[in-house]
Structure 1
Amino acid sequence: MNTHDLKKGLWLGVLGVTIFALTLPMTRLAVGTSDAPLMSGMFIAFGRAVVAGVLSGLLLWWSKAPLPPRDAWGPLVLVALGVVFGFPLFTSVAMRHVEAVHASVMVGVLPLATAVVGAFLNRQRPSTGFWICALAGTALVVAFALLRSGHSGLALQTADVLLLIAMACAAVGYGHGARLSQRMRAEHVICWALLISLPINLPLAAWQFPTETLPTSAWVAFAYVSVFSMWLGFFAWYKGLALGGTVRVSQVQLLQPFLSMLFAVPLLGEHLDAVTVGFGVAVIATVFIGRRMPVHTALKGPAA
């Protein structure tokens, strides 16, 4: 991998993460709270996939995209299970019961999980220095989120379990999507995953469609997670993972909780302080140092 591809991959990764950083605040805005519920988590999960699936079908038709190779259909199903069904469903249901700050505890483990999946799928052997940086960055994010959560400890409630499952789903979807993006156009990977999921998502979204009048803010939030979080963000993210390598580029996700905090200030009324800035600078440092650590690739082909 040349330096140009790595830098381009990292910048595309940052773009994707910036788009994804609004997902949790926007989801919280759409689902409301336990005391003032709005859209159901199931409708957001299935509905956003329907909107993105329709857009995907139009893009594939307009670009005259070829059918994926026969051996790509299995990984595409895994991508769909991970990022079209698993992550949206579990996070949407959980976000009604936890604040965005609390949810960032779980998001903080996603870069490490993605790196592990990527290393396994691509038979890569990151150096000890790389893993130290990844673990240090993860620890900083978790420590910050716990500090801001206002709790003395991390109680493993039902919402926490759902968020942990969501992170595992995302890591699997990211890993397989990145591999497919090495031989398919990145935007086609997520488009095909959404399109093959459409026959399932469409009736489920119709079943969960809200019948009550909802505020405009909830529909705007739903539109964002449908078009950006579920669709456009993956164009940059999968391309970045393919160019820069899943193991390396996955670490820019460490910035996501801090970006979510920054976006949550105007959306959810949270405050940005010196502690947040300090932790953010420290996490950026781990990403900067980690990208310079060697990542070795085995001579054998990728894992099946």
Structure 2
Amino acid sequence: MSRTTQGWIFGFLGMLVFSGSLPATRLAMTGFDPVFLTVARVVLAAGVALCLLLGTRQSLPSRRDYVSLLIVSLGTVVGFPLLTALALQFITSAHSLVFIGLLPLSTAIFGVLRGGERLRPVFWLFSGLGSALICGYALRNGVQGAIRGDLLMLAAIVVCGLGYAEGATLSRKIGGWQVICWALVVALPLMLVLLVFTMPDDLQNIGRASWWSLGYVAVFSSLIGFLLWYRGLALGGIGAVGQLQLLQPFFGMVLAAAVLSETVDPAMVMITVAVIACVFGAKRFAKPAR
């Protein structure tokens, strides 16, 4: 099996894990403050990551790698979870998923800026078309949200795209799972301090669903998903494999319908087929431009 094929397989599995992040965050916020939720998920994930690093006796990153790890930490470990949690105070999970359709484009752009990738013009055509289809689908349903929530989601997409590209570039040097583990550990000291100040006064009245959702976003969204995703980006290319996240809004909507009882529009099936075509089109023309 070629490296590119492996990259797409790992990327697809990572995308599936991420699909549950926003619905799980929305559910967790029925019991937790968004800031505490972000801090708690990082602390829990970092604890597991630290055990993995110590258990496998990983060497410390070099000094020059810490700048990249800080970017990954600020972008994907802390920035994206915090900004999306804050946004979900003002908009629905369905509306927030619209912006995830813009994430592949953001990742590809930073893949060029930070990873040095060169992609064909046709690739950008398919990437832009896929993003436009997702946004058009949401607008067709008349989804409306507060401008504050929209701006927070846009900021989340920018920092996440940067974190994805930076992490994928660094993973070629120190390994995909090592990148996210070290990025979590870098954030741990500050998160432990914040945990003390953001801890809810009464934990006993928080529902079981909120606790399970916190567990999901901590273990799966903040760690396991990234282990798969960064591996996929490193093997298959940042811009190419990143297009798989064009499918994430639709998997997320299915989960939102099942978990949050949100309605799934039948037209979603037709749009999904069109988006899949864009993903394969982007894959076909994802080879570096000469």
Q: CA deviation at 1:71?
A: 1.6
Aligned equivalent of 1:185: 175
Match of 1:270 among 262, 266, 288: 262
Q: Distance in 2 between matches of 1:84 and 1:294?
A: 27
Matches within 5 A, 1:124-203: 124-151=117-144, 157-203=147-193
For residue 248 of structure 1, report the CA deviation from its aligned partner: 0.4
> Structure 1 residues 176 and 150 mapped into 2: Cα distance closer, same or farther (>3 Å)?
closer
User: Aligned equivalents of 2:278 and 2:91: distance in 1?
Assistant: 28
260, 278, 282: which one pairs with 1:286?
278
CA drift at 1:262: 0.9
In the TM superposition, residue 156 of structure 1 has moved relative to its aligned partner by 6.2
What is the identity, as a one-letter code, of the residue corresponding to 1:50?
A: V
Q: Secondary structure at the match of 1:65?
A: coil
Q: CA distance change for structure 1 residues 47 and 294 in 2, over 3 Å: closer, same or farther?
A: closer
Shift of 1:297: 5.8
Which residue number corresponds to residue 65 of structure 2? 72
Deviates more, 1:204-213 or 1:161-170: 204-213
Which of 208, 220, 224 is the matching residue for 1:216? 208
Q: Residue 177 of structure 1 contacts residue 190 of structure 1 at CA under 8 Å; is this kept in 2?
A: yes
1:187 and 1:234 in contact (8 A); partners too: yes
Secondary structure at the residue paired with 2:81?
helix
Q: Is the counterpart of residue 114 in structure 1 residue 112 in structure 2?
A: no
Cα displacement string for residues 244-273 of structure 1 (whole angstroms, at most 9, x for unaligned residues)? 010101100100000000111111102334
Are residues 94 and 179 of structure 1, via their aligned partners in 2, closer, same or farther at CA, if it must alter by over 3 Å? same
Q: Relative to structure 2, which stretch is displaced further, 102-111 or 217-226? A: 102-111
Match of 1:207 among 197, 210, 226: 197
Contact 1:123/1:297 (CA < 8 Å) preserved in 2? no
Q: Does 1:4 align with 2:22?
A: no
**Are 2:223 and 1:231 equivalent residues in the alignment?**
yes
Aligned residues: 288
TM-score, structure 1 length as denominator? Answer: 0.91
Structure 1: runs of 5 or more not aligned: 33-37, 299-304
Gaps of 5+ in 2: none
CA distance in 2, matches of 1:28, 1:156: 16
Q: Residue 175 and residue 150 in structure 1: after superposition, are their counterparts in 2 closer, same or farther (change >3 A)?
A: closer
Deviation of the 1:279 alpha carbon: 0.7
Match of 1:40 in 2: 33
Q: Tell me which residue corresponds to 2:95.
A: 102
Q: Distance in 1 between matches of 2:165 and 2:157?
A: 12
With structure 2 as the length reference, what TM-score do the two structures score?
Answer: 0.96
Distance in 1 separating the partners of 2:48 and 2:92: 30
Tell me the percent identity: 37
**Contact conserved, 2:91 with 2:146, CA < 8 A, in 1?**
no
- CA drift of 1:148 comes to 2.9
